[in-house]
Amino acid sequence: MKKIPIGISSCLLGENVRYDGGHRLDAYITGTLGKYFEFHPFCPEMGIGLGAPRPTLHLVKINHAIHCVGIKNPDWDVTEPLRGYAEQQKHLHADLCGYILKKSSPSCGMERVKVYTNNQPHADGVGIYAAEMMRNNPLLPVEEEGRLGDPGLRENFIQRVYVLYRWKEMLAKELTASRLTKFHARHKLIIMSHEDYRDLGQLLAGLSKDNLVQVAEQYILQLMNTLKKPATRKNHVNVLQHIQGYLKKDLSSDDKAELCEVIERYRNGYIPLIVPITLLKHHFRKSPDPYIEESYYMSPYPQELQLINQL
C-alpha cells in the first residue's frame, strides 16, 4: 500500500516555523507514522507572511467573536488572514486522509486553546485556521500531537485515517451500489465496536440507482462521525463474541473454553485486545470464513503499528 497523505503542522516535522524560530519535532510522528503516512506540512502563520521568529499571538473574545491578536499589540489582528489561508488550501486539504495539528496553538489548536476574556483565560477555544479547515473538511480525521500519546485516541485516529483512505480508493474506482454495500459489510464489525451499526445498514437498505450519490454522501458522513467516538472495551467484547460465533461448529470444547476465557480476561482488563484477536486469527486460519476473511476488524491497518497491543 502506498503512503497515505496526511496534513500536519509544519513544526511537528522539525521545521523552524514557530514564533520563537524553533520547532516541535515529534519522533513518533516522523519515525513510526512516517513509514505509512506521507506528510503534507502547513504553517498558517508562515503562509500569511508572518515569518519566524515573530511576535506572539493569542485568542481573545471581542464582542462575542473570537479573534487572534498580538499579545503585546492587541490591534494586530490576523483572524481573517488565517481563515483566508485555510480557504486557499482547500484544494490541497481535499486530497488528505487525516490531519495532525499542534496543540494549544491559537492558529492550529484543535480544542482547549486558551481564549482570553477581560484578561482571564478559558481553555475552550479552537485555533482560527484549524476551525476553518475542519469546517471545510467534515469527513477528515483530525487529532493533536499531544493526544496521540493516549493509546485509545491514537488507535482511533489511525483507524479513521485508514477507513477514509479505503473510501477514497473505492470512489476512485467508480461508485456503485455493489461497492458501497461491500464497503459497509467489510467495516460492519469495526462499526459495531463503536456503536450499533443498524442505522447505517438501514440507510443502505433504501439504496437505488437514483439516490446512490446522495446516500453515499450521507453514509460516509454518518460513518466518520460514528467512528469519532473511540471504541469501548464492552463493545469490543461484543464483537469478539460475535466473531466467535462463526467458529461454533469448528472449535473443540477445549478450544472454545480457552477462547471464552481469553475474551473474559480481556473484558476484565488483564490482557490487551491483541491477545483474543491473535487467538481468533489462529482458529480462522484452520477454519476460514469468507465474511470474517473480508472484514477489516481484525486487520484494520498494518499490524506493525502495534496499536491494539495497548488497548
Judgement on whether residues 141 and 172 belong to the same structural domain of the protein:
no
pLDDT, residue 94, reads 97
Grid cell in block for residue 160: 479513521
Number of folded domains that form the chain = 2
Q: Classify residue 102 as exposed, middle or buried by CB count within 10 Å of its CB (0-12, 13-18, 19+).
A: buried
Together in a domain, 189 and 142: no
Pairing outcome for strands 113-117 and 57-62: parallel
Question: Which tens digits make up the pLDDT trace of 111-154?
Answer: 999 999 988 999 999 999 999 999 999 999 999 999 999 999 99
181 and 310 both lie in a single domain: yes
State residue 250's pLDDT score: 93
Do 97 and 164 lie in one domain? The reply is: no
Taking residues 73-101, report their average pLDDT.
97
> Is the pLDDT confidence value at 197 over 80?
no
Question: Which of 149, 184, 200 is a domain's end point?
Answer: 149
The more confident residue out of 114 and 308 is: 114
Residues 104 and 186 in one domain: no
Are 63 and 125 in the same domain?
yes
Q: Cell 481468533, residue?
A: 280
Contact yes or no for 140/134 (Cβ under 8 A): yes
Instruction: List the domain range (segments joined by +) for residue 16.
Output: 4-149
pLDDT at 228 exceeding the cut of 80: yes
| pLDDT score recorded for residue 304 | 87
Tell me: do 80 and 18 sit in the same domain.
yes
With a cut of 90, say whether residue 297 has pLDDT above it. Answer: yes
CB–CB of 77/120 below 8 Å?
A: no
How high is the pLDDT of residue 176?
95
Q: How confident is the model at residue 279 (pLDDT cuts 50, 70, 90)?
A: very high
Judge whether residue 196 has pLDDT over 80. no
Indicate if the pLDDT at residue 107 is higher than 80. yes
Based on the fold, state whether residues 225 and 265 are members of the same structural domain. Answer: yes
C-alpha cell at 181: 454495500
Q: Give the per-residue pLDDT at 305.
A: 87
Phi, psi dihedral angles at 146 (to 5 degrees): -65, -40
Let me know whether 53 and 119 are in one domain: yes
**Element of type H or E holding 8:** strand 4-9
Question: Are 125 and 255 contained in the same domain?
Answer: no
Q: Is the pLDDT of residue 1 over 80?
A: no
Tell whether 43 and 137 lie within a shared domain. Answer: yes
Distance of CA 310 to the CA centre of its chain: 17
Instruction: Tell me: do 129 and 213 sit in the same domain.
Output: no
Q: Point out the domain boundary residue: 116, 149, 182.
A: 149
10-53 pLDDT per residue, tens: 999 999 999 999 999 999 999 999 999 999 999 999 999 999 99
- Per-residue confidence band for 230, with pLDDT thresholds at 50, 70 and 90: very high
Q: Is the peptide bond before 53 cis (omega within 30 degrees of 0)?
A: yes
Indicate the DSSP class of residue 299.
-
Domain edge (last residue) among 149, 164, 198: 149
Where is average pLDDT lowest: 7-16, 275-284, 300-309?
300-309
